[in-house]
């Protein structure tokens, strides 16, 4: 293994995300960042908002983990119950849940303020993450990601995502299932479709990872992780590092090092190291969101997932928006709020990294106010309780369309 390859692999884990985010926060606290000032005395307002909305949403503080599965619940009804009811055994169920979670999370980059999904089950309209979740769930439930030609298919044939079907997914089909048209535009829909096709091609090419117990499917990653478990124990950071290494090639052309694609990793001039990773800031938002979302299917299959706090907070616009809207993060140039910024711009990289580091501090303060320890209220529950909801609530209070305080040009594969 070359030095560059080893350096690249050192960025494909949660510890690297946390360490480098904290380094940028330290620079911010010394007032040495180019785009943001950090006003740490304002953190109390963010904490109070998170505490208030957590108590409102979970009065007895029975907060679940932050994951994609929360978005599949509408009006207190878990729409994924049919998967458990229809499938014959725990491992088949786990593969189906992995299929659904992986596909749904990869489709979960920001939808934009105008898109809505009209849910045929409830008759209600849902936007943003909830809408994207339901659209992907309904497409999955009808067999939209299955390659079966059987008529009618069995539940096991229908409730799956096959590599062949993903690799050949027509963008028009995705547009139809997600109800996209000129009056209902979805940001980055072409990028989302290509991401699923890239996923399909990768899964087909790696039967050693994705076809250990079944034909090639993203859900085969369950069997791959299960084989790595020691005594049915799987550390959450291992889920993420394996996701980053095994799924890395699906992402659009971005930074690579030593031939290794770095995924959601970007450059910032203030982060200097003495090796080949100098200037690189890993964030891995969608991959961490996916890692959180694979925990529950593993638990349901009888595995114990440890060190969930080894994962980090998510570098996305609701958490980041909370810190901007409460004045914890202040743009040095206020006119930057009026224009859109590319995902890879130093301003956005700085904002996202500061968000990750600040979430750790926010979690400590939230636990103290709720009289909970880290075991009782891990970061994943603070996010769910929590920071994401408080960021969204404040965004709608300040801006009619609920948009983030900083505009980011999205290709549908990051936010």
- Chain-centroid distance of CA 47 in Å reads 22
- Chain-centroid distance of CA 409 in Å reads 18
The verdict on residue 111 lying in a domain is: yes
The 3-class SS string of 15-61 reads HHHHHHHHHHHHHHHCCCCCCEEECHHHHHHHHHHHHHHHHHHCCCC
Contact in structure between 125 and 166 (CB atoms under 8 Å) = no
The verdict on residue 414 lying in a domain is: no
pLDDT of residue 414: 67
Query: Which of 18, 36, 105, 26 minimizes the C-alpha distance to 283?
Result: 18
Beta bridge partners of 260: 257
Total domain count, the chain: 1
d(CA 53, CA 397): 14
pLDDT of residue 411: 62
d(CA 67, CA 70): 6
The verdict on residue 103 lying in a domain is: yes
Beta bridge partners of 281: 266
Per-residue tens of pLDDT for the chain, all 415 residues: 788 999 999 999 999 999 999 999 999 999 999 999 999 999 999 999 999 999 999 999 999 999 999 999 988 889 998 787 888 889 999 999 999 999 999 998 777 888 999 999 999 999 988 999 999 999 999 999 999 988 899 999 999 999 999 999 999 999 999 999 999 999 889 888 999 999 999 999 999 999 999 999 999 999 999 999 999 999 999 999 999 999 988 887 689 999 999 989 999 999 999 999 999 999 999 899 999 999 999 999 999 999 999 999 999 999 999 999 999 999 999 999 999 999 999 999 999 999 999 999 999 999 999 999 999 999 999 999 999 999 999 999 999 988 899 999 876 666 5
**b/e burial code for range 111-144 (CB count within 10 A of at least 16 → b):** bbbebbbebeeeeeebbbbbbbbbbbbbbbbebb
pTM to 2 decimal places: 0.94
The verdict on residue 319 lying in a domain is: yes
pLDDT of residue 401: 87
Query: Which of 180, 163, 162 minimizes the C-alpha distance to 171?
Result: 180
Contact in structure between 37 and 347 (CB atoms under 8 Å) = no
pLDDT of residue 85: 82
The verdict on residue 381 lying in a domain is: yes
pLDDT of residue 87: 85
pLDDT of residue 134: 96
Write the CB contacts of 275 (distance below 8 Å, at least 6 apart in sequence). 3, 7
Domain that holds residue 269: 3-409
The verdict on residue 415 lying in a domain is: no
The verdict on residue 168 lying in a domain is: yes
The verdict on residue 180 lying in a domain is: yes
Q: At what angle do helices 128-141 and 90-106 cross, to 10 degrees?
A: 130
């Amino acid at each position: 293994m070359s030095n560059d390859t080893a350096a690249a692999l050192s960025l494909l884990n949660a510890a690297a995300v946390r360490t480098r985010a904290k380094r940028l926060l330290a620079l911010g606290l010394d007032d040495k960042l180019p785009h943001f000032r950090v006003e740490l005395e304002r953190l109390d307002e963010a904490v109070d908002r998170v505490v208030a909305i957590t108590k409102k949403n979970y009065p007895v503080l029975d907060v679940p983990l932050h994951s994609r599965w929360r978005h599949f619940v509408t009006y207190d009804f878990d729409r994924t119950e049919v998967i458990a009811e229809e499938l014959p055994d725990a491992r088949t169920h786990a593969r189906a849940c992995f299929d659904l979670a992986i596909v749904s999370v990869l489709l979960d980059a920001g939808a934009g303020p105008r898109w809505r999904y009209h849910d045929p089950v409830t008759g209600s309209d849902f936007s943003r993450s909830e809408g994207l979740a339901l659209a992907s769930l309904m497409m999955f439930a009808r067999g939209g990601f299955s390659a079966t030609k059987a008529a009618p298919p069995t539940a096991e044939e229908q409730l799956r995502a096959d590599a062949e079907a993903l690799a050949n997914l027509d963008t028009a089909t995705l547009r139809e299932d997600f109800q996209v048209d000129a009056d209902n535009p979805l940001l980055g829909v072409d990028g989302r479709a290509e991401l699923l096709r890239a996923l399909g091609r990768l899964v087909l090419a790696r039967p050693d990872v994705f076809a250990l117990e079944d034909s090639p499917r993203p859900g085969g990653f369950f069997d791959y992780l299960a084989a790595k478990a020691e005594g049915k124990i799987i550390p959450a950071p291992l889920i993420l590092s394996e996701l980053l290494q095994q799924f890395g090639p699906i992402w659009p052309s971005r930074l690579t090092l030593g031939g290794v694609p770095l995924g959601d990793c970007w450059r910032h001039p203030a982060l200097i190291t003495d090796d080949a990773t100098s200037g690189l800031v890993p964030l891995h938002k969608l991959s961490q969101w996916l890692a959180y979302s694979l925990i529950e299917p593993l638990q349901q299959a009888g595995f114990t997932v440890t060190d969930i706090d080894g994962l980090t907070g998510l570098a996305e616009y609701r958490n980041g928006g909370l810190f901007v809207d409460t004045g914890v993060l202040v743009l040095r140039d206020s006119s930057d709020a009026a224009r859109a910024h590319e995902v890879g711009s130093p301003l956005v990289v700085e904002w996202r990294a500061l968000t990750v580091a600040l979430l750790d501090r926010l979690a400590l303060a939230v636990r103290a106010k709720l009289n909970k320890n880290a075991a009782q209220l891990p970061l994943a529950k603070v996010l769910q309780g929590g920071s994401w909801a408080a960021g969204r609530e404040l965004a709608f209070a300040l801006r009619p369309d609920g948009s983030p305080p900083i505009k980011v040009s999205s290709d549908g594969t990051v936010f």
